[in-house]
A = this chain, B = another copy of it.
Amino acid sequence: MAQASNSRIKVGIVGGTGYTGVELLRLLSQHPNAELVAITSRKEDGLPVADMYPNLRGHVDLAFSAPEKARLTDCDVVFFATPHGVAMAQAQELLATGTRVIDLAADFRLQDTAVFERWYKMPHSCPDVLAESVYGLVELNREAISKARVIGNPGCYPTTVLLGLAPLLEGGKQLVDTQTLIADCKSGVSGAGRKAEVATLFSEASDNFKAYGLPGHRHHPEITAQLEKISGGAVSLTFVPHLVPMIRGMFSTIYARIQPGARDTDFQALFEQRYADERFVDVLPAGSAPETRSVRGSNMLRISVQRPNNGDLLIVLVVQDNLVKGAAGQAVQNMNLMFGLPESAGLDQVAILP
């Protein structure tokens, strides 16, 4: 565990112009134990952050700086809110000076570099760092994260599907059929990022609903790899992502066939017990169902377990804010753990409703 002196942790952000970047800024600017010291963007060098993100006026005084000026090695931790491939190019240098790394892209999510290369169309340039990196899903890897130097922060879809299935698969339980799992997932548009693209224009995405990524989505191998790690066996999951006309929010409807020998299981109790001590996982009472606005702007993930007509199909409903628990909030949760801070430091925002 790192030493969290009574001074604040020095934090740097690489690539803060996207939505995970601005969300990190929102959270870290209110964090009682963190001090933002640098935020880099080659393109926006010199631009005050608040000029790009007017919500930060009065809260963040920093300007973007070109990477070479940023002195990231003076930071205690650096977040990478960058495209895939950037963190792995810089991690080694930072680690060498004692700076920790939390990557919000995919560079440290997949231990199998061949799989990484197939889905992300680039070679993995630093397998050594990858080997020591930890998959940053706190509720699954708390112990390892607290000792980690490098974190691969999970994808948004994986966070919901993994936490929705973990209680059913952990420890090699034979509760559900692991060969016929289905995750029908729905995401708000901010998940696509702040890139100028026709498909996510307001006039294209508003008042519309569609599936996408059917030939294959990059989060699919990430989910499967982690599920297999959790269950200790082969897992086959069908994953269908859809796009919802809302900015934030993710809703996953997960279908699992109950094994004949597990029909007497009290699944509600199973989930409640599994997450009883988790500050950011809320298992809803039996009979209720979640909605995405119940977590808008907060780091909470809510789960409901349904078993229609007490039959053989279990339905797990999971909601989160894709930019918070699905990205920046989870990254801060990892940071807290890595530096021995209270896990919820800076993450106690109440969701905004309506």
Contact = CB atoms under 8 A, between A and B. Distances in A.
A211 B194 CA distance: 21
A354 interface: yes
Interface string A13-52: 0000001001000100110000000000000000000000
Contact of A198 (B196, B238, B246, B350): B196
Contact of A19 (B26, B298, B354): B354
Q: Categorize the interface residue count of chain A.
A: 35 or more
Contacts of A244: 209, 244-245
B19 A57 contact: no
Interface in A334-354: 348-354
A5 interface: no
Interface string A265-288: 000000000000000001000010
A249 B209 contact: yes
Contact of A240 (B198, B212, B315, B348): B315
Contacts of A287: 215
A204 interface: yes
Interface in A194-217: 194-198, 200-212, 214-216
Contact of A55 (B55, B201, B251, B352): B352
A309 B79 CA distance: 36
Contact of A202 (B184, B189, B215, B249): B189
A229 interface: no
Contacts of A19: 203, 354
Contacts of A211: 251, 253, 289-290, 317
Interface string A76-107: 00000000000000000000000000000000
Report, nearest first, the 3 A-B pairs whose CB atoms are least far apart.
A210-B291, A55-B351, A54-B294
13 contacts: A29-B350, A54-B353, A180-B313, A186-B209, A189-B206, A190-B354, A201-B201, A206-B245, A207-B207, A207-B249, A207-B293, A209-B246, A248-B354
